[in-house]
Chains A and B, each alone.
Chain A
């Protein structure tokens, strides 16, 4: 079989596999909810994001054990399912709320991205990491995980193994945060808005942000998503600044300065779809029944995305570069967690309350 045919077959079989497993997630979720309801527990403590990630991890182990993971890999499209889910979710969000949370989210993002980026850069310098790895890591932690890592890698000509490494770190860190942060927020009694802003400002990958928000409540899910999107919107600007810095300061080729068009090229376009669907819903083009159906469909898309987080987890890459990058990443994540908590509380709990 040629490589192209093999990729196509892997894509189709991978997508079918994700589809079947997502149906299983819904079936398990309903059954678990029923089990708790029969015992007098109205709120199912094992919400569907947890069921989806757990099932994804089990399937991941089976696929790797049978050496078929690489074959179905093209169908494991976390980002695609997540972005479709976010576009559909906008049907349940008024555009005024998006603008309000988006403005606050943008302010939060400016503070967090700047502080976390430079903190990561500083600590990575102290640990002697190479400039390209520093840039990819700082972007992944301060903006939005995998997609920021890829954008930064393009801007600074990072090696493929550095992207793979940071991607593995992003997912390994995001999974426990997705479960722990809602639990901590609940323990300290955070409002859904502040908790959502905290998740959005801290967890690196957007899928896990939406997962944490979903675990905490519908308002938290919406706030977390909008705040994370505001952060994602900065990716183009950071990629452009990084590319300029590397060309001028690291490579010393000032004549090859990148074009500002990078800002638009790297802009996450799904945000445009998100805003458009929200405008359609807010102006009454989409009626009540359509909104209900779209919200249900967004839940299906999110379930597929959460499943894919479990499916794509790989810890093998983490052994490739030793312990120093892991220490840098974890230190920066702790810093991000603490700072995001303070900033989210200040902006969403006090200034925008």
Chain B
């Protein structure tokens, strides 16, 4: 039976956020993501 005192193994949301964050940083540093506009489309302007 699961003991709630035990922390689950596997990729936690914390590590996942670090992984995704660093991957994005790598993409940006390598020039893969050169520009990110806010807003994307300017639909209502």
Contact = CB atoms under 8 A, between A and B. Distances in A.
Interface of A: 23, 26-31, 34, 77, 79-80, 83-84, 86-88, 91, 153-155, 157-158, 243, 258, 262, 265-266, 268-270, 272-273, 276-277, 280, 285-286, 289-290, 293-294, 296-297, 299-300
Contacts of A297: 24, 28, 33, 36
B13 A83 contact: yes
Interface of B: 4-7, 12-18, 20-22, 24-25, 28-29, 33-45
Question: Chain B's interface: helix, strand, loop or mixed, by majority?
Answer: loop
Contacts of A84: 17, 20-21, 24
B22 A277 contact: yes
A239 to B, nearest CB: 9
Q: Is the interface of A mostly helix, strand, loop or mixed?
A: helix
A81 to B, nearest CB: 8
A257 to B, nearest CB: 11
B14 A91 contact: no
Given A269-B18, A277-B22, 5 more contacts: A27-B43, A34-B45, A86-B17, A266-B7, A286-B29
A229 to B, nearest CB: 12
Given A154-B4, A265-B7, A299-B38, A276 B22 contact: yes
Contacts of A266: 7
Contact of B41 (A27, A86, A91, A243): A27
Contact of A270 (B17, B24, B42, B43): B17
Nearest to A269: B14
B40 A268 contact: no
Nearest to B38: A26
Given A293-B35, A296-B36, A299-B38, A277 B25 contact: yes
Nearest to A277: B25
A87 B16 CA distance: 11
Contacts of B5: 154-155, 157, 243, 258, 262
A294 B24 contact: yes
Contacts of A286: 25, 28-29
A283 to B, nearest CB: 13
B23 to A, nearest CB: 10
Given A88-B24, A290-B28, A83 B17 contact: yes
A296 B22 CA distance: 15
Nearest to A82: B17
B28 A293 contact: yes
A280 B24 CA distance: 13
A27 B22 contact: no
Nearest to B35: A293
Given A269-B15, A286-B25, A297-B28, A31 B44 contact: yes
A30 B25 contact: no
- For the complex of A and B, the 9 pairs showing the least CB-CB separation, nearest first, are A87-B21, A83-B17, A31-B44, A273-B18, A26-B39, A269-B14, A265-B7, A296-B36, A30-B39
